[in-house]
Structure 1
Amino acid sequence: MANKAYVKNVYDCAFAQPARHINAHAWCMGNPAMMGTDSYAFFSICEISYGGCAIEDNHKNSDHCYFIMEGAGYSIINGKRYEYKKGDVMWIPGNSNHEMYPKGIEGLRFVVTLTGKDFNQTEPFVRAVTSVPTAVPPKHNNAIAWPVVTPKNGGSNTIEFHITELFPGGNAEEDVHEDADHMYYFIEGTGYSIVEGERLEYGPGDAMFIPAGAKHSMFNTGEGTLRMVASFGPSRKVMRP
Structure 2
Amino acid sequence: MKIKHSLINIDSLANYKNNKSNFFTPISLDQGSETTAFYSLVSAGKMQEENTLADFDTFSILLEGSGLFGFGNKLVTAKSGDCRLIPKNRESFFINTSNEEAVMVGFFLGPQGKGQPKMSYTDLTEVTIKTPNSETGGIAAKDGILVNTANTSLENMIKSEGWEISDFRLPISKIQGSTSTLFRAQFMPGSVHKKHTHQECDEIYYIISGFGLAGAGKDRIEVRSGDFHFIRKGTEHWLHNLSNTEPIEVVGIYCKAGSVEETGYVYNGEVTAKDLNERTGRSGAIICLK
Alignment TM-score, normalising by the size of structure 2:
0.73
Render the CA deviation track for 1:122-143: whole Å, top value 9, x for unaligned: 5513221010000144521143
Aligned equivalent of 2:169, options 146, 151, 155: 146
Q: Map 1:74-223; keep pairs closer than 5 Å.
A: 74-116=68-110, 122-138=142-158, 139-154=162-177, 156-157=178-179, 159-223=180-244
The amino acid that maps onto 1:82 is V
Secondary structure at 1:54 match in 2: coil
Identity %: 18
* Cα pair distance change 1:188/1:212, threshold 3 Å: same
Higher RCO (CA < 8 A, seq sep 6+):
2
Per residue, is there more strand in 1 or in 2? 1
Q: How many residues align?
A: 228
TM-aligned CA deviation for residue 239 of structure 1: 4.2
Q: In the alignment, is the contact (CA less than 8 A) between 2:215 and 2:237 conserved in 1?
A: yes
Residue of structure 2 equivalent to 1:8: 8
Q: In the alignment, is the contact (CA less than 8 A) between 1:144 and 1:164 conserved in 2?
A: yes
* Cα pair distance change 1:56/1:221, threshold 3 Å: same
Name whichever of 104-113 and 219-228 sits farther off.
104-113
Larger Rg: 2
Render the CA deviation track for 1:64-120: whole Å, top value 9, x for unaligned: 1111111101122210112211122122111211122111322321102111269xx
Per residue, is there more helix in 1 or in 2? 2
Aligned equivalent of 2:252, options 206, 230, 236: 230
The amino acid that maps onto 2:211 is T
Q: In the alignment, is the contact (CA less than 8 A) between 2:165 and 2:185 conserved in 1?
A: no
CA RMSD between the two structures: 2.2
Secondary structure at 2:235 match in 1: coil
* Cα pair distance change 1:220/1:177, threshold 3 Å: same
Question: Which consecutive residues of structure 1, in runs of 5 or more, have no partner in the other structure?
Answer: none
CA distance in 1, matches of 2:220, 2:76: 41
Structure 1 runs of 4+ off > 3 angstroms?
A: none
1:37 aligns with 2:57: no
